[in-house]
Amino acid sequence: MPKVSVTVRIWVLMSLLWASELALARISSDRQMVADIVLSALMFIGFGAVLTGLAHAPLAEKWRKGGAALVSGVPVGLLVLGITGFQLGIGVVGVGVAGVVGTLVAAGGAWQLDDDGILPAPIGVLMVAVASAMAWGIEAVPAPSIWGSAAVMWLFLAASSLRPITVVIPVAVTLAISLVPVRAPSATWTATGDVPDGPDIILLVVDTLRADQGMKMATYRRLAAEGAAFPDAQAAAPFTLPSMASLHTGLAISDHGAGTRVDGKKAPMRSDVATLAERLAAHGYDTTAVIGRNPYVGARFGFDRGFALFDHPDDLSNWALPRGPGLGSSARPIVTRLMMAAGIGERRLVRDADEVVDRAAKVMAQRRDRPVFMWMHFLDCHLPYRHAMASSLPFGARLDLDGGNWNWPRIRALDKEPYWPTPEGTTVFKQGYQHEIDLIDTAMMDFLDAIGPPLERGRVVVLVSDHGEEFFEHGIQGHGLDLYQEVVSVPLVVTGLGKVPAPNGPVHHIDVAPTLLSAAGLSVDGLPGTSLSAARPARVTITENLLFKELQGRYSIRDGRWKAVVFPDHDELYDLTADPDEKNDISGSHPDRIAEMKRAAPTPATLTTEAVEEDATLKSMLEDLGYVDE
Does the pLDDT value for residue 564 go beyond 90? yes
Average pLDDT over residues 101-129: 50
Number of H helices and E strands in the chain, helices first, is: 21, 20
275 and 154 share a domain? no
Q: How far apart are CA 474 and CA 497, in angstroms?
A: 37
Span 118-144, mean pLDDT? 56
The pLDDT assigned to 70 comes to 65
**Residue 573: how many CB atoms within 10 A of its CB?**
23
- Of 129, 144, 178, which closes a domain? 178
What is the C-alpha separation between 291 and 360, in angstroms, rounded?
9
| Weakest mean pLDDT among 70-74, 123-127, 214-218, 394-398 | 123-127
- pLDDT at site 616: 57
- The answer to whether residue 405 scores a pLDDT higher than 50 is no
Do 543 and 234 contact (CB within 8 A), yes or no? yes
Chosen domain end from 178, 213, 235? 178
- pLDDT (tens digit per residue) in 77-103: 666 666 665 555 544 444 455 455 554
Q: Which of the given ranges, 10-24, 127-141, 222-236, 468-482, has the highest pLDDT on average? A: 222-236
460-475: burial string, b at 16+ Cβ within 10 Å, e else:
bbbbbbbbbbbbbbbe
Residue 326 has pLDDT above 50, yes or no: no
Position 586 in a domain? no
Asked if residue 408 and residue 349 are part of one domain, the reply reads yes
**Domain match, 122 and 214 both:** no
Average pLDDT of the chain? 80
pLDDT at 131 (0 to 100):
65
Residues 158 and 219 in one domain: no
**What DSSP string runs through 126-142?**
HHHHHHHHHHHHHTTSP
Query: What mean pLDDT is predicted for residues 187-199?
Result: 90
Percentage of the chain surpassing pLDDT 90?
46
Task: Write the pLDDT tens digit of every residue in 215-261.
Answer: 999 999 999 999 999 999 999 999 999 999 999 999 999 999 999 99
> Do residues 175 and 346 lie in contact, with contact meaning Cβ atoms separated by under 8 Å?
no
Evaluate whether residue 529 is within a structural domain: yes
What's the Cα-to-Cα distance from 254 to each of 11, 249, 258, 542, rounded to whole Å? 63, 12, 8, 12
pTM here?
Answer: 0.80
Let me know whether 166 and 230 are in one domain: no
pLDDT at 329: 47
- Asked whether residue 594 is assigned to any structural domain, the reply reads no
Residue 369's SS3 state is coil
CA-to-CA dists, residue 131 to 41, 79, 128, 321, 592, angstroms: 20, 8, 5, 9, 65
Q: What is the percent of the chain with per-residue pLDDT over 70, rounded to a whole number?
A: 69
Is the model more confident about 6 or about 364? 364
Minimum mean pLDDT among 11-25, 67-81, 435-449, 530-544: which range?
A: 67-81
Q: Rounded CA gap, 288 and 502, in Å? A: 31
Strand order in the sheet with 562-566: 541-544, 555-559, 562-566, 571-575
239 and 289 within one domain = yes
Residue 283 covered by a domain? yes
Angle at 333 between CA 328 and CA 334, to 5 degrees: 105
Residue 343 predicted with pLDDT over 70:
no
The reported pLDDT for the residue numbered 550 is 87
Residue 1: pLDDT band with limits 50, 70, 90: very low
> Is 563 within the bounds of a domain?
no
| DSSP secondary structure string for all residues of 171-185 | HHHHHHHHTPPPPPP
Which pLDDT score is estimated for 406? 43
pLDDT at 123 over 70: no
Rounded to 10 degrees, the C-alpha dihedral 381/387/389/391 comes to -80
Q: Are 408 and 388 spatial neighbours (Cβ–Cβ below 8 Å)? A: no
Task: Answer yes or no: is pLDDT of 542 > 50.
Answer: yes
- Mean pLDDT on 572-600: 95
- Check whether residue 170 and residue 251 sit in a common domain: no
Amino acid 49: pLDDT: 87
- Most confident range (mean pLDDT) of 66-80, 173-187, 234-248 is 234-248
Q: How does DSSP classify residue 370? A: S
**Model confidence band, residue 402 (pLDDT cutoffs 50, 70, 90):** confident
Amino acid, single-letter form, for residue 186: S
Does residue 513 sit within a domain? yes
Q: 165: Cβ–Cβ under 8 A, 6 or more apart, which residues?
A: none
DSSP one-letter string for 42-58: HHHHHHHHHHHHHHTSS
Whether residue 538 has pLDDT greater than 90: no
Give the residue with greater pLDDT, 625 vs 212: 212
Task: Name the pLDDT band for 340 (thresholds 50, 70, 90).
Answer: low
Residue range 593-610: mean pLDDT, rounded: 92
Q: Are residues 448 and 520 in the same domain?
A: yes
* Residues sharing a CB contact under 8 Å with residue 503, sequence separation 6 or more, in sequence order: 230, 232, 532, 536
- Does residue 578 lie within any of the structural domains? no
Same domain membership, residue 149 and residue 208: no
Domain that holds residue 69: 6-178
560 lies in a domain? no
User: CA nearest 21: which of 131, 153, 102?
Assistant: 131
Same domain, 533 and 394: yes
Q: What is the per-residue pLDDT across 429-446, written as a single tens digit (0 to 9) for each?
A: 999 999 999 999 999 999
| pLDDT-wise least confident of 35-49, 555-569, 607-621 | 607-621
pLDDT-derived band at 613, boundaries 50, 70, 90: confident
pLDDT tens profile 51-64: 788 777 777 666 66
What pLDDT shows up at residue 17? 74
pLDDT at 43: 84
Whether residues 243 and 168 fall in one domain: no
Indicate the number of domains in the chain: 2
- Provide the pLDDT for residue 482: 93
420: CATH: 3.40.720.10
Q: What are phi and psi of 621, to 5 degrees?
A: -65, -40
Confidence (pLDDT) at 108: 46
Last residue of a domain, one of 127, 145, 178: 178
pLDDT at 310 over 60: yes
Q: Is the pLDDT of residue 109 over 50?
A: no
> Are both 361 and 288 inside the same structural domain?
yes
